[in-house]
Amino acid sequence: MHHSTNLILPSLLAADWSKIDLEVRRASAAGAQWLHLDVMDGNFVDNISFGPQMVQTVRKCTDMYLDVHLMIHRPDHYLERFIKAGAQNITIHVEANYDTSVAETLKRIRAAGLHCGLALHPSTPFEAALPFVRDIDLLLVMTVVPGFGGQPFMEKETMPKLAAARDYRAAHGLNYHLEVDGGIYTSTAPIAKKNGANLFVCGTSSFGPPDMEQSMRELAASVA
Ligand code: DX5
Ligand code: ZN
Looking from the CA of residue 145, the nearest atom of ligand 1 is: 6
0.95 cut: is pTM over it?
A: yes
- pLDDT for 15 equals 98
Q: What pLDDT was estimated at residue 35? A: 98
**Topology adopted by domain 7-222:** TIM Barrel (3.20.20)
In the chain, the amino acid numbered 31 is G
pLDDT of residue 218: 98
Q: What single-letter amino acid sits at 29?
A: A
Residue-range domain boundaries for the chain: 7-222
Measured in angstroms, how far is the CA atom of residue 173 from the centroid of ligand 1?
A: 30
- Summarised one tens digit per residue, pLDDT across range 25-50 is 999 999 999 999 999 999 999 999 99
pLDDT tens-digit readout, 194-220 = 999 999 999 999 999 999 999 999 999
Q: What is the pLDDT of residue 200?
A: 98
d(CA 37, CA 17): 13
Q: What is the pLDDT of residues 47-91, one digit of tens each?
A: 999 999 999 999 999 999 999 999 999 999 999 999 999 999 999
Nearest ligand, measured from the Cα of 10: 1
**DSSP 8-class letter at 41:** B
* φ/ψ of residue 222, rounded to 5: -70, -20
| Distance of alpha carbon 143 from alpha carbon 180, whole angstroms | 6
Of the residues 66, 144, 153, which should be mutated to test ligand 1's pocket, given the most ligand atoms within 8 Å of the CB? 144
For 12, 74, 117, 127, the CA distances from 77, given in Å and listed in that order, are 24, 5, 17, 25
Is residue 196 within 6 Å of ligand 1 at its C-beta? Answer: no
Read off the pLDDT of residues 88-120 as tens digits, 9 standing for 90 and up.
Answer: 999 999 999 999 999 999 999 999 999 999 999
- Give 37 Cα–ligand 2 centroid separation in angstroms: 6
Cα-to-centroid distance, 2 and ligand 1 (Å): 24
Residues with active-site annotation: 38, 181
pLDDT given at position 79? 98
- Report the run of H or E that residue 199 belongs to, with start and end: strand 199-202
Cα angle for residues 220, 31, 29 (degrees, 5° grid): 150
Q: How many residues does the chain have?
A: 224
**Number of the ligand 1 atom closest to the C-alpha atom of 208:** 13
Amino acid (1-letter code) at residue 203: G
172 Cα to the center of ligand 1, angstroms: 30
Question: Given pLDDT bands bounded at 50, 70 and 90, which one contains residue 180?
Answer: very high
Q: What is the pLDDT of residue 164?
A: 98
Give dist(CA 211, CA 191) in Å, integer. Answer: 24
- Residue 156 in contact with residue 186, Cβ under 8 Å? no
pLDDT digits (tens, 9 = 90+) for 116-166: 999 999 999 999 999 999 999 999 999 999 999 999 999 999 999 999 999
Closest-CA residue to 158 (of 187, 136, 184): 184
Cβ–Cβ < 8 Å for 139, 129: yes
Q: Which of 23, 48, 120, 181 to mutate to test the pocket of ligand 1 (most atoms within 8 A of CB)?
A: 181
Helix (H, G, I), strand (E, B) or coil at 110: helix
Beta-sheet pairing, 7-10 with 115-120: unpaired
Q: Tell me the C-alpha distance between 205 and 203, whole Å.
A: 6
User: Average pLDDT for residues 19-29, to the nearest whole number?
Assistant: 98
